[in-house]
């Protein structure tokens, strides 16, 4: 009886701790999760605000030219493009018609 009780308590403790500690730390998916979490911690100024309002930018492009570095974040679902300078300040916001992703797959 006592052995069964100890076994049940041990299993309950192990299952409870593994549910909280599920982390992916290997392979392609693990590296992607790590990059996403590291990106949020490194953001500052306007980039941090946009990230919290609109979520992770799926389309990010860094453009170097004319002695400047600009980063474009495009959110197709919302129809907005945010352009930041090298100090993470918002330089320009462009609006366009939102794109429905399902239309691409119907063709």
pLDDT tens-digit readout, 57-89 = 878 888 888 888 998 988 888 888 999 988 888
pLDDT at 103: 60
| Distance, first Cα to last Cα, the chain | 65
pLDDT at 106: 58
Q: Where are the domains of the chain?
A: 1-42, 44-107
Chain centre distance of CA 61: 15
Angle among Cα 49, 86, 94 to the nearest 5 degrees reads: 60
The C-alpha atoms of residue 51 and residue 45 are separated, in whole angstroms, by 10
Give the model's confidence band at 101: pLDDT under 50 very low, under 70 low, under 90 confident, else very high.
low
Q: What is the Cα Rg of the chain in Å?
A: 22
pTM: 0.59
């Amino acid at each position: 009886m006592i052995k069964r009780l100890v076994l049940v308590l041990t299993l309950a403790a192990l299952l409870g701790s593994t549910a909280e500690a599920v982390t992916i730390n290997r392979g392609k998916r693990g590296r992607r999760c790590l990059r996403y979490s590291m990106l949020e911690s490194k953001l500052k100024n306007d980039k941090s605000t946009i990230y919290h309002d609109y979520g992770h930018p799926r389309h990010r492009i860094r453009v170097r030219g004319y002695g400047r570095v600009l980063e474009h974040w495009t959110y197709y679902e919302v129809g907005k493009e945010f352009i930041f300078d090298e100090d993470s300040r918002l330089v320009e916001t462009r609006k366009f018609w939102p794109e429905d992703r399902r239309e691409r797959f119907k063709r």
